[in-house]
Amino acid sequence: MRIVWQKVRPIVSKPLFFSGFTATVLLVLGVWFWLADISYEHPGPALAVGLLGVAVFFIGLALNDLQSDKGPIPLSRDDSVSSHLPRVVGLAHLVDRWQLFNPSEEDRKILDEQVQLILSTAQRHYNTYDEIRLLKYFRGAKLKGGAFLLTISPNITPLVWKFDSLTNINREIRNYQHCVREFLGNTPGEAWEPRQRYGTMGTEDWGVIAYNFVGRGTDPVALKQLQTFSDYYLSHGEPQIAGIIQQIFSVLEPWWLMRRGWPEDCRRGGLRSLYDEYNRLSRYRSVMKQELQAVGRQQQVATLENLDFSTTYLDLDLGKPLRNPFNWLLEVFEAKKLDVWSVQHRQDSIVHGDFHAGNILIEDGDAPKIRLIDFPHVHVGPTVQDIARLEADLKFGLLADESLQRLGLEGLRASETALLPLNPVDSEPPPAILTTEQERKTWCIVQLLRREAQRYNIIGSDARPYYLALLHATLPILYYRDRSPWQKLYAFVSASLLCEQLEARM
pLDDT in tens, 305-361: 999 999 999 999 888 899 999 999 999 999 999 988 887 788 999 999 999 999 999
Instruction: Flag whether pLDDT at 432 surpasses 60.
Output: yes
**Burial class (CB within 10 angstroms; exposed 0-12, middle 13-18, buried 19+) of 2:** exposed
End-to-end, the C-alpha distance of the chain in Å comes to 57
Q: What is the C-alpha separation between 53 and 69, in angstroms, rounded?
A: 25
Residue 180 is given by DSSP the state I
Instruction: Flag whether pLDDT at 419 surpasses 80.
Output: yes
Sign of the torsion formed by the C-alpha atoms of 482, 139, 494 and 333: negative
Q: What is the C-alpha separation between 234 and 238, in angstroms, rounded?
A: 10
Contact partners, residue 2, CB within 8 Å, separation at least 6: none
Give, in degrees to the nearest 5, the angle at Cα 65 between 59 and 71: 145
Instruction: Flag whether pLDDT at 229 surpasses 60.
Output: yes
Report the pLDDT averaged over residues 4-30: 54
Sign of the torsion formed by the C-alpha atoms of 42, 47, 52 and 53: positive
- Residue 207's pLDDT is 95
Question: If pLDDT is split at 50, 70 and 90, which confidence band does 54 have?
Answer: low
Main-chain phi, psi angles of 266, to 5 degrees: -90, -15
Q: Are 404 and 494 in contact (CB under 8 A)?
A: no
Contact partners, residue 401, CB within 8 Å, separation at least 6: 484, 486, 487
Strand duo 147-153 + 204-212: pairing: unpaired
Q: What is the C-alpha separation between 311 and 326, in angstroms, rounded?
A: 9
- Residue 21's pLDDT is 62
3-state class (DSSP) for residue 144: coil
Least confident of 112-116, 158-162, 283-287: 158-162
Contact partners, residue 335, CB within 8 Å, separation at least 6: none
Q: What is the C-alpha separation between 385 and 469, in angstroms, rounded?
A: 5
- Residue 80's pLDDT is 47
Report the pLDDT averaged over residues 129-139: 90
Kind plus residue range of the DSSP H or E element containing 457: none
Main-chain phi, psi angles of 134, to 5 degrees: -80, 120
- Residue 271's pLDDT is 77
> How far does CA 377 lie from the centroid of its chain?
7
Q: What is the C-alpha separation between 69 and 54, in angstroms, rounded?
A: 23
Which residue spans within 179-303 are E strands per DSSP? 191-192, 199-201, 204-212, 226-228
DSSP string for residues in 419-435: H-S--SSPPPPPPTT--
Residue 353 is given by DSSP the state S
Question: If pLDDT is split at 50, 70 and 90, which confidence band does 3 have?
Answer: very low
Least confident of 70-79, 84-93, 274-283, 344-353: 70-79
pLDDT in tens, 437-468: 999 999 999 999 999 998 887 776 788 999 99
Sign of the torsion formed by the C-alpha atoms of 377, 378, 382 and 388: positive
Residue 479: which of 309, 346, 280, 303 has the closest Cα?
Answer: 280
Q: Are 199 and 206 in contact (CB under 8 A)?
A: yes
Q: Is 336 left (phi over 0), alpha (psi -120 to 50) or beta?
A: left
pTM of the model: 0.81
> Computed over its alpha carbons, how large is the radius of gyration of the chain?
27
Which residue spans within 20-114 are E strands per DSSP? 87-89
pLDDT in tens, 178-201: 999 889 877 877 889 999 999 988
- Residue 31's pLDDT is 59
- Residue 157's pLDDT is 73
Q: Could you tell me how many residues make up the chain? A: 506
Residue 383 is given by DSSP the state T
Residue 399: which of 497, 294, 490 has the closest Cα?
Answer: 490
Question: If pLDDT is split at 50, 70 and 90, which confidence band does 260 have?
Answer: confident
DSSP string for residues in 251-280: HHHHHHT--S---HHHHTTSPPPHHHHTTH
- Residue 77's pLDDT is 40
User: Which residues is 164 bridged to in the sheet?
Assistant: 207
3-state class (DSSP) for residue 242: helix
Report the pLDDT averaged over residues 214-239: 78
Please state at what angle helix 15-36 crosses helix 44-69, rounded to 10 degrees: 170
User: Which residues is 41 bridged to in the sheet?
Assistant: none
Question: If pLDDT is split at 50, 70 and 90, which confidence band does 69 have?
Answer: very low
Side-chain-side CA neighbours of residue 32 (13 Å): 6
Q: Are 374 and 172 in contact (CB under 8 A)?
A: yes
Going from N- to C-terminal start, the domains of the chain cover: 2-69, 87-224, 230-503
Instruction: Flag whether pLDDT at 234 surpasses 70.
Output: yes
Mean pLDDT of the chain: 84
CA dihedral 469, 470, 472, 474 (to 10 degrees): 170
3-state class (DSSP) for residue 153: strand
Q: What is the C-alpha separation between 380 and 334, in angstroms, rounded?
A: 22
Residue 156: which of 199, 80, 98, 217 has the closest Cα?
Answer: 217
Strand duo 369-372 + 360-363: pairing: antiparallel
